[in-house]
Structure 1
């Protein structure tokens, strides 16, 4: 298989080295799955598909025209250019051959029944240590049916030209067409609890501690700051909880939307200590594989811990963090885990 020309790559076919084709999220998802890490299955609509879409629909010229000479400090002009580009991308008809490939991949993933999936953006330069693109593109949850998947793939492509993304690339000297976008399509996790974990204490930069946050339901309200999660600090060496702070949670996000939490559970600890420590152990293994502190999103479904995203922590001082280690693929079998990538909300 020539990955550089493929429009669709299953997670099982993807490795970390495939970042130019599937972006940081897609590359890490595939790499973790290859190491038997519990990752929700899926496929990636590659950056090659995005570029071919631009060329087939003649959108590349339209985008160049909109961005040529654009003063990104002029907020009205920036907003206008962004709106025009996004409208053009969404209005363009998906090429039939590409639409067919996406449909076939979705049906293969789901089997007989249309299942809920997350449609995520994975910029090909998203998780570079010196230029964090994270959060600049969109994620869509609870998408069902291949027609909806195709529609949201185009929305992800369009999100590459949000005003803030155009501004960021321009200010940092990135060529708008050198930053491609792939779209991982991943089975949704019906999480009872979920959370965020940092394999370095995010408040103190203490590398000997792991921070685990836990909330009821889907993880998106934690990412957005709508819910205050339980917070645990774990000693990385011993794997034991050092401190914990339990927070009130009155509602949770489920597939049915916001639902009220029974009063008896609102003030209760949301995940037993032994499971919190299992989450932390998983985080340590991911960090050991990458050689760099990780920012990880996780979920628990029917008692099973699943990794939804992992990316390098980009907020550490350079003297502290150093460069991200490059793992020799020949040594990959020695590692149980690999960092993954998806995005906000499980």
Structure 2
């Protein structure tokens, strides 16, 4: 019993300490559930680096195309805007980076009406998803853009958009045209991000940046999987799946340094930096602008980054 007591005291002391820690690198959080937003917003966190749309869409429960079929687009748009407000309001003026829907076809099929609108794919992970899907089904993406626009029209300036699973630059060109048509780019504060999770995007990043984006977030889960050719859900090969593999670290560093070169925001939204402090150190050294982690490791990540930054400062001073 006594040991347990001691542990609790240590924990609360660590908490008080973390509240006082300030880092040059922003610590963001990954969120999906609206009812968690107000609570997490009270933590020592600099914003939401990944707001996943999927939980909200699953809660709505009906395939977006079913709304279109029934002429009820406004119902979907208003519901999505209402749910997004539950994140935007408690975090304002801190940034909220909304990742547009990245359901795969097998996940979309589970929604009401899904089987009518979705093809059956043998490998949904590499199938009809992400940026290409918005180009093929612009009417669904346009509803998401309208929901975001509603929030900007209310005067909020902290909701930004991130495009997932971008494979080739021409996809981004087409997506950007759609975002422009929505009127969102007319707000000078609006920021357009992309997820860097496909090797073709990671290794050709300069071409994507030249299309015109404000930020990137590295999706380490998919990127590691595709760089190593490993299905992370397969236990048979799980030993090979490791973000600390040199090739993965080299690609992460290349992404961060490329963003620095072009002076755009660079974040990461996988578990890697909080699981492995040595990855956090390497990314902070390379000049990453933020780390986005799950709420339970916000304080721990802040502490890791604080220690790395202090170490860097001492090294620079010692030169």
TM-score, normalization by structure 2? 0.30
TM-score, normalization by structure 1? 0.28
More strand by share: 1
